[in-house]
Amino acid sequence: MNVLVTGGAGYIGSHTAKHLAVSGHQPIVLDNLSKGHRWAVRWGPLIEGDLADRDLLAHVFRAHSINAVIHFAAVAYVGESMKLPADYFRNNVVNTLNLLDSMRESGVNALVFSSSCATYGAPRKIPIPDDHPQQPVNPYGESKYMVERMLHWHGKAYGLRWSSLRYFNAAGADPGAEIGELHQPETHVIPRAIAAALGDLPEMEIFGVDYDTPDGTAVRDYIHVTDLATAHLLALERIQRQESSGAMNLGTGRGYSVREVIAMVERVGQRRVPVRECPRRPGDPPVLVADASRAARVLGWAPSYSQLETIVETAWCWYLSRRQISGAKDHSAAAAKQERCAP
């Protein structure tokens, strides 16, 4: 298949593009590079542009004979969405409507959507099942929920076949260290802990140490980005077989606290992570863990790389590879680790 990967220069999109290519498909990446990286597009063409450009979309579908779409393109910072809700609804909702219109005009009726556990809001039950009520508490989650409803009604009215994948905490990096996580700013726990361990940050912040959890810090379900990429391909193949559309969680069903993550970074990197304890951030629930039984049953999907040690090891190797390119030096633990990280 020729698969349009919107946002394919980003973290999860680039890993999925690689997985598509390895599986014999042709990814065609459309990305405006506001968050993604040109160097992350390595397995097919990059079209630099925005989903707001309807003429460009029409050209892409026509010129590349697109068969299906995997849709990652979005802005995705919860805190920012509280300050800039209009930007989130314009980018995540209006631009998705442009994409759906272009698909319909081009006769393409298969789409896999990158959704989020943020659509659930404050969880009433742990682990969170796929049929948990969706009551988002921020514009980011609301925008993802609105797109899910658009997909539902496009399926009813226009015959769109779709799959909505609700991620929990994407983490880790390509096992070959070819691509990985690089956000600006970087807000995720694992890369920040690695940066602090290597002295690239003065300390790792722990936001909240008084949660009702075993060690007082927030618990999250971490899923390796390669396992997410696999799930996208399985979901795409399923809807191409014209099986029923729907949404499902992607997670491991096992949560780790912030302190447990830091301890694993220290174990893998053989370095201490300096920390600073900070107050809770508004809206952060104590525990977010997925019930991903539907993905297992419907897709035959099971995580292969999502043990916490594997997640941290691949993230560490990727961080070192990027650090070398940028000219940073490390002559002790990092140098010893580099040998282990060779593909």
Strands 68-71 and 2-6: parallel
Decide: 221 and 169 in contact? Cβ < 8 Å.
yes
Decide: 7 and 36 in contact? Cβ < 8 Å.
yes
- At 14, is the secondary structure helix, strand, or coil? helix
What CA–CA distances, in Å, run from 317 to 137, 305, 334?
35, 14, 9
Decide: 245 and 163 in contact? Cβ < 8 Å.
yes
The per-residue DSSP string of 27-92 comes to EEEEE--SSS-GGG--SS-EEE--TT-HHHHHHHHHHTT--EEEE------HHHHHH-HHHHHIII
What is the DSSP-derived secondary structure letter of residue 25?
Answer: -
What CA–CA distances, in Å, run from 212 to 5, 127, 216, 284?
40, 16, 6, 13
The per-residue DSSP string of 155-186 comes to HHHH--EEEEEEESEEE---TTSSS----SS-
- Residues 127, 14: Cα–Cα separation, whole Å: 29
- Residues 180, 21: Cα–Cα separation, whole Å: 17
Instruction: Give strand pairing partners of 29.
Output: 5, 46
Catalytic site residue 140? yes
Decide: 167 and 228 in contact? Cβ < 8 Å.
yes
Instruction: Tell me which of 11, 140, 167, 211 is the catalytic residue.
Output: 140
Strands 2-6 and 161-167: unpaired
Active-site positions read 140
